[in-house]
Structure 1
């Protein structure tokens, strides 16, 4: 074997999946406690998805596309749905933590898995920071409505903001710290709290829709597409990052009871709930207020819209409280997903050992939680929110594309691999999933791809300088696609 062949075979080596353990994981390696059921896992997906796109992004999306934001939600939902179906098959065939990182490792090789891991770290880290920033907006609205005073701008705005900069976004930092403390207590406790918060947020959004429909005006939907198809695509790209919650479901593979059945059911179930709520809220919002009155800079827009419709503040107070709870759950689950991806990479030897360490008492990766929350708190406290959205979308889309391609590869290389769930309409469905994601990518600004490319390049440089030499596969037989087994 030549040196070039040896290098190529090393960086593209694939890892087997044995039973429900992680790729290459021995029985005595660090592992997590299986304590999450199907219902809680479904609410993980809903919790990480419903919130940001409704409470924070919807005014920006409406201002970009007008009433046709309904099409934007549909396009993003269809693209996410196609990818979700592919996730469901991969989750049933490769039921481990790590999400699309682990799926890429089993189908495309180590170097691709590292690149996808970088995408996920960007996707989850930036998403958590962005949602924590939006949390402060609704918290301020709620405090103002209840007590008549607001947190000073110096403590609610990043110092580098273009408009009215402050010192630090303190509510963002506080939220991240609270999520970190809850996650350190344990996965089952976090899942229970998330389930309660998701139930509350669904009830609040149904109340919001009911209030808005009392002021429904059909003329608000004409003209339907004032910004043309370009506006629809741009809005869909902005909205799409909120579907990160579907990926978050697949980060819990090592902590789910009966993951081969529970994970596909949770992914599909979360998708149905999320798309239904998104469409209902979008229609209700535009029906109650002309699209030209929505602004990208409008803070706590749903709360103020509810107040405008009712002529009082009590509904707006409930909406603001629901948003505070809702965005808390989004941030909680996204941080959870980030820590589990780092755990999987650390266990595989592609990150330092500290990322694979698990608390013997709570059976959770405490080190990961502290590190992740520290980084996210810095982003949320000091970086303006408008600088974060598109970076999340490009990371999410890259992960979705990888999973869709992985389904095709695994079908070809391991046709007899047990799959409790199979993609309907194969191979058309994964191909359409890739095409839809590429189309949405076209709506992102070129500068987004520049920053994204620099981030992935830095991750790959780390891999070639450190990760490749420390990979767990260096101590065992390198595997190929035909070694993937159950």
Structure 2
């Protein structure tokens, strides 16, 4: 349900690395390494942080910290810092949250604009979105599209609601991506594969089942968040079919 979505949000971001694979040297070797090492570092960091929280606070204080059930309560990190360092500690942790957010935004700006950029290059979006600045070679228009849409979303709901919408919708596509591994192995058995699927077919099958369970469970326990996530996906269908028809006709609209 919502609690699982909130937990998965903390680890989300691993999916961003493949989006910039085209700009990575030797991606077949370095992208998997970056994914594995990045996840190990994040897991270790979160694990140590949670051990520190449990050491510093009574269990009841941890449970009643800021979450989907206690939206107005202070974060557990703030409580722990206040226990060790007093009011100054709480302010210090708040400042580190802001710095961490700025760092995350840098990564999001770098990779997320590559989605409309790649769509435009493939003829599935307005062609000018697939252009780059002549001076900096940056996809400025794609970044502008992402910034505008992010601003609209930020103005329509709370952070918790937005993350629930996004994670639910994202795991639908994560599962479909894993399904595509089986599909492509069947349709294109001799295609070059720079990225190896370790443990095939067991590992991708487990991933598909987990994604399916998460989607079904969220539909049952958090129907509002689930419906909103589905609506966000459906909003893109009219544009998708429009550009698909244009692509089939050999004409892509330019704005």
Shift of 1:429: 0.6
| Partners of 1:301 and 1:423 in 2: CA distance | 38
TM-score scaled by length of structure 2: 0.84
Shift of 1:475: 4.0
Match of 2:236 in 1: 459
| Partners of 2:2 and 2:168 in 1: CA distance | 13
* Secondary structure in structure 2 of the residue aligned to 1:404: helix
2:124 pairs with one of 327, 342, 350: 350
Match of 2:192 in 1: 418
**CA contact 1:300–1:320 (8 Å) conserved in 2:** no
Name stretches of at least 5 consecutive residues in structure 2 with no aligned partner.
none
**CA contact 2:123–2:243 (8 Å) conserved in 1:** yes
**CA contact 1:307–1:316 (8 Å) conserved in 2:** yes
Equivalent residues in 2 for 1:311-326, closer than 5 Å: 311=86, 313=88, 315-326=89-100
**CA contact 1:234–1:443 (8 Å) conserved in 2:** no
| Partners of 1:409 and 1:268 in 2: CA distance | 25
* Secondary structure in structure 2 of the residue aligned to 1:419: coil
1:436 pairs with one of 180, 203, 210: 210
1:274 corresponds to 2:67: no
* Secondary structure in structure 2 of the residue aligned to 1:415: coil
Q: CA RMSD in A?
A: 2.3
TM-score scaled by length of structure 1: 0.46
Shift of 1:424: 2.2
Residues 319-351 of structure 1, C-alpha deviation per residue, up to 9 Å, x if partnerless?
A: 333211111122222233221000000111111
1:470 corresponds to 2:246: yes
Equivalent residues in 2 for 1:85-484, closer than 5 Å: 234-289=2-57, 290=59, 291-294=62-65, 295-311=70-86, 313=88, 315-381=89-155, 383-444=157-218, 445-464=222-241, 466-471=242-247, 474-475=249-250
Q: How many aligned residue pairs are there?
A: 241
Name stretches of at least 5 consecutive residues in structure 1 with no aligned partner.
1-232, 477-486
Deviates more, 1:410-419 or 1:338-347: 410-419
Asked which structure has the greater RCO (Cα within 8 Å, sep 6+), the reply is 1
| Partners of 1:335 and 1:395 in 2: CA distance | 20
Deviates more, 1:339-348 or 1:284-293: 284-293
